[in-house]
Amino acid sequence: MRIAIQGIKGSYHHQVATILFGNQKLSECSTFDELAVLVSTGQVDCGIMAIGNSIAGSILPNYALIQSEALAITAEHYLNINHQLMCLKGQDIHSIHEVQSHPMALLQCRDFFRKHPRIRAVETDDTAAAAQRIAQNGQKGVAAIASAQAAQMYGLDIIEKRIQQVRNNATRFVVLERQPRTVQGANKATINFTASHQPGSLGRILNTLGDLGVNLSKIQSIPIVDKPFLYSFVADLEFEDLAQFEVAQLEIGILVESMNILGIYKAEQL
């Protein structure tokens, strides 16, 4: 298999790819857009994409990418995230004036930057890539926020451990494929829908799901790109079997203006 990840070896996406698929061929992508295109054009078998974090929230543009490239979610994985502060050997926190990392990682470490206001946070394309550049360029006074695996891989010292503001920090990743497929034991679906503008329309949709015994584990409004200040909804639905979901799909189908199934897959427990 060839698997697309956002970032390079040592990134959290790389860890998830290894957990789910073992040591496979990787296509390292600098952006989520690049990842989505590789999957949609069949240049890779699947992609691993972060979709949300328990501290920083949902990555809304990634839902739009999944839809625009007509990708299918076929699996999910929750990864416990422990951010480490790393730099060249022989330095300490007092030597550091700049910290580089992915924007989501920086968001998850806001308390660290409040405690160290003199340290500048700089957004980069990837956690592991920030560590790699520091090692390759011999950048003194600059640190990266990344995984312990990245520190070991690129020969950096960890000078502060677990600097995320909440110890129980998890990121949800999804596996994306070009075509939907039947997943044995599927009990979860992600859908995108638009409700009518009639008062109470969203409430009727949610009540219908409850009456059918379908658990709404998440609902998130996302902007409709070509319609300013109008929103659709992404929802995660959990059910006992596909027959129950098919009934729910029919029942709420008459209550929504449009609906798109982003994936039917097996739920993973936190």
Cα separation, 81 vs 77, in Å, equals 12
Q: How, if at all, do strands 46-53 and 2-6 pair? A: parallel
> How far, in Å, CA of 221 to CA of 223, rounded?
7
Note whether 159 and 84 are within 8 A (CB).
Answer: no
Kindly name the residue from 112, 173, 193, 233 that is annotated as catalytic.
173
Structure tokens at 237: 């639905």
**Is-catalytic flag, 171?**
yes
Amino acid at 204: R
Dist. CA 179–CA 44, nearest whole Å:
12
Cβ 159 vs Cβ 91: under 8 Å: yes
**Would you call 173 a catalytic residue per the annotation?**
yes
Catalytic residue among 171, 233, 239, 245: 171
Beta-strand pair 142-146/98-101: parallel
- Percentages of the chain per state (helix, strand, coil), in multiples of 5: 30, 35, 35
Dist CA 190 CA 112 (whole Å): 34
- Please give the positions annotated as active site: 171, 173
